[in-house]
A and B are shown apart, each in its own frame.
Chain A
Amino acid sequence: MRCTDASALLAVRAELSFAQNQQLQEHLSTCQLCARQWRAVQQTRRALQHIPIATLDPPRHVTAVIARRLDKQRSPAARLQPASIASVAILVLLVVMLGLMWSAAGPVHVVSAPFDDVPARGATASTLSAAVPTASAPDTPRATSQAFTVLVLGSDARAGQSQLIRTDSVLLVRIDPDQQRLAAVALPRDLWVTYPDGEEGRLNAAYSVGEQRAVGSGGTFVKQTVSAAVGVPVDYVALVTFAAFADLVDRVGGISITVPQALDDPRYPTDDYDTIHVQFAAGPQHLDGVRALQYVRIRNPDGDFDRLQRQRQVVAALLERLRSAGQLQQLVGLADVVNTLGTNVTTDLPQDLLLDSASWAASLTAAQIDLLAVEPTMVTPMPPPATLQLTDDAQQQVIKHLAGRS
C-alpha cells in the first residue's frame, strides 16, 4: 500500500473492509509519516468529543414559527416515526435480538396457512380509539419507573408498504437501565390471541388486523393484544425488517467467529418460502450480513451444538466488533445508519427515553442479555381454527423472566 493511498484512508477506516484495514495496519507499522497522520486523525476525533452531544429538544415556539413558515400540513396517521439518530443504539440491540430470535420462534410453528386466510373483520375504528393503552393499566404496576417494555416485530415488509404485514418473529423485550438488564421472550407467531376488539386470531396477524381497522393503529392494536395475552404491559412497539440485521452486520464490516463444527442444512428456508442448501465449514471465518443471518437461523439435524449457542456467539461477536472499533459510539451519531436502519425500523419509542438508554446500551455485554424462547412444551394445542395457547405455567415463567425473578 502506498502512502498517498494510506493517508487518505485513515480518516474513513470504518468504511473499509476487514482486509483493507489489515493492510492499512501493516503499512502503519512500517511508515512513520502515515503513523503520524493516524495520530492526527485520532487526536481530531478525541478533540471533537470535547463538545458534548446536545440533548435539548427545540422549544415549541421555535418549531411552531418555522412550521407556520413552511405552511406545513400535519399528517394525523403518522404515529410511528422512522428511527431517530438517538434511537440507533437501542435499535441496534433490538435488531441484534431479532436476528437471534428469528429461528427461536420456529419450533412451535404448527400452522403454515398463508396470511391471506385471516378472515375479514367488521369492527369499526371507533372501538379501537376508545381503548385504553394497556401500559397504564392500574392492575399491573411497573417494577421501576425506569424500566420499559418494547415489542419487537420482525417482518419481511416495511410499515406502510403494505397493509398485510406478517410479523413472523415476535419478541417482547424488557429493558431495565437501573438493573443493567435486558430480558427478552420470543413468542410463538401462531399463538392464538384475543384482539382488543374481542375478535380472535393468530398473533402474527395482529398488526395487520389493526392496520385494517384504521391505518396507523396497527402498533397500538398489537401492543394491546400482547399485553392481554401475556399479562405484561407493553409500552412500545418496533417493527423491524429482517434485512436490518444483515444490514447491520454488513455495516460494521462483518463479524469474525469460529464455527465449532461443520453445519449443513439442505433445506434452509428463504424469504419467498423456498429452500436452499446452506453449509458452514468448521473453523474461524469472517461472515457478512447474509451469512451471519444464515448462521443464526440454520438448523442442523444431527449437530449437537445448540442453535442458541450460535446465536449468543453472533451477538457477542457483533457487540465486540461494535465496541472495539468504537463503532457503537459512532453509530449513535450516524445519519446514514438512520437511513439504513431507519427505513427498516419503525417505532413509537420516544426520543428522550432512547437518549437516556443509549449510553447504557453502548456498554451492554452479551452476559447482560437474558433470552427465553417459548418451547413446544410450554404451549398446548387448541381445537381448530384456533392454534395454540401458553400453558399457565409458561405464562408465569414468561412474566418472571421479564421481571428478572426467574
Chain B
Amino acid sequence: MNAVPTTLKGDDQLLAVWFELYHAALFRYLLRLVSEAETTADLLQDTFVRALLALNPAQPPDNPSAWLYRIATNLAYNHLRRQRRWRWLSLQALTHTTSFEANVIQAQIVRDCLARLRPGEAEVLLLHEYVGLTSFDIATLSGEKASTIRVRLARACARFSQLYEKEQGA
C-alpha cells in the first residue's frame, strides 16, 4: 500500500496505480507550466497515453514518478514552443496593467524564455527546479552521466538568464 509498486500483473494495471498516485500532482505541475486548465487536462491525458505506449512491462522504470514527470515535461515544453508566438502577441496587447496582470506577464515572460531553450536544456531545468529531481535522478532517467546533466543544467541557467535579461530590458 505504501511502497510504489513497480511490478504488477498487467501494464495498464500498473499505470492505473501510478495514475491514482500521481495524477493530481502531475496536473498541478502541468497547469503551472501551461496555465490553462483545458490544455493541462489534454496534456495530462497525453502523458498517460504516452506512458502506456512507452512502458515495457518487463522492465518498468525504477522511479515511476520521475519517469512520468519527464514525459509530462517534454509534452509541456512542446506545447509552450507551439504557443510562443501567439502568446507573445497577446501579451503586447495588454497596455493597462494591474499588479495581477503584471504578475501574469512576468509568468508569461518566463514561459517564453523556457520555450526558447534547447529541448534538452529545458528538460533538465524544469525537472531540477520544478520537479526537484537531482542530477543523479535525471541521469538515471536519461541513461547519461550525472556530470553531463550538471553541465547541461549550468548551460540552461546561463542561457535562460541571458534570454530573461533581454526580455526584461526590452
Contact = CB atoms under 8 A, between A and B. Distances in A.
B23 A158 contact: no
A330 B4 contact: no
Contact count band on B: 35 or more
B1 A80 contact: yes
Contacts of B3: 158, 160-161, 343
A334 B23 CA distance: 16
A78 B107 contact: no
Interface residues of A, number: 64
Interface in A220-261: none
A363 interface: no
A161 B2 CA distance: 8
A41 B157 contact: yes
B87 to A, nearest CB: 13
A75 B16 CA distance: 10
Contact of B52 (A43, A45, A70, A336): A70
Given A12-B153, A339-B65, A58 B2 contact: no
Interface stretch (A59-67, A267-275, A309-317): A59-67
Contacts of B75: none
B91 interface: no
A43 B160 CA distance: 9
A72 interface: yes
Interface in B22-77: 23-25, 27-29, 31-33, 35, 37, 40-41, 44-45, 48-49, 52, 63, 65-66, 69
Interface stretch (A47-55, A110-118, A170-178, A193-201): A47-55
Contacts of B41: 58-59, 62
- The secondary-structure label for the interface of chain B is helix
Contact of A66 (B29, B48, B66, B151): B48
A343 B32 CA distance: 26
B2 A73 contact: no
Contacts of B165: 43
Contact of A335 (B24, B28, B132): B132
Contact of A50 (B103, B137, B158): B103
A66 B63 contact: no
B43 to A, nearest CB: 11
A146 interface: no
Interface in B97-113: 103, 106-107, 109-111, 113
A7 interface: yes
Interface stretch (A81-89, A380-388, A394-402): A81-89
A62 B44 contact: yes
A331 B13 CA distance: 30
Contacts of B147: 8
B116 interface: no
B164 A59 contact: no
Contacts of B45: 62, 65-66, 69
A51 B32 contact: yes
Given A37-B157, A72-B16, A343-B3, 15 more contacts: A8-B154, A48-B129, A48-B130, A50-B106, A50-B107, A53-B32, A56-B37, A158-B3, A159-B2, A333-B132, A334-B131, A335-B65, A335-B131, A337-B132, A342-B4
Interface of A: 7-12, 15, 37, 39-41, 43-45, 47-48, 50-59, 62-63, 65-67, 69-75, 77-78, 80-82, 84-86, 158-161, 216, 330-331, 333-339, 342-343, 346, 351
